[in-house]
Amino acid sequence: MLALREENRQLKEGMLGRARIDQAMGVLVALGGATPDEAWDLLREVSMNTNRKLRMVAEILVGWPVGGSLPDDVREALDAAVGPRRRSCGNF
């Protein structure tokens, strides 16, 4: 019974994480002019370059439009990732 509860908790956590990632991709599409595929690549790249979990980067990006700023390391990694795509994406 305890194992089932733990599995259920992990599944719920995973679903919430995926929803947050999808929302962050939406932020990058809406505010950055990225395509959904580019947004996914940007999230992964920023995650790797900041040594933050993907879902943490997603949390930061989802809160960004409301909070008004990004942590310096995330902003720098996002700017660096967008650099090669600059003609199709906006500035962050």
51 domain-assigned: yes
> Taking a C-beta distance cutoff of 8 angstroms, is the pair 50, 77 a contact?
yes
92 domain-assigned: no
**Global model pTM greater than 0.85:** no
41 domain-assigned: yes
> Taking a C-beta distance cutoff of 8 angstroms, is the pair 74, 56 a contact?
no
**Whole-angstrom distance, CA of residue 2 vs CA of residue 22:** 30
**Residue with token string 């949390």:** 59
Residue-number span of the structural domain to which 48 is assigned: 2-85
Segment among 1-10, 27-36, 43-52, 56-65 with least mean pLDDT = 1-10
Angle in degrees, 0-180, between the axes of helices 2-32 and 36-50, rounded to the nearest 10: 110
Gyration radius of the chain over CA positions: 15
32 domain-assigned: yes
For residue 7, name the pLDDT band (cuts at 50, 70, 90).
confident
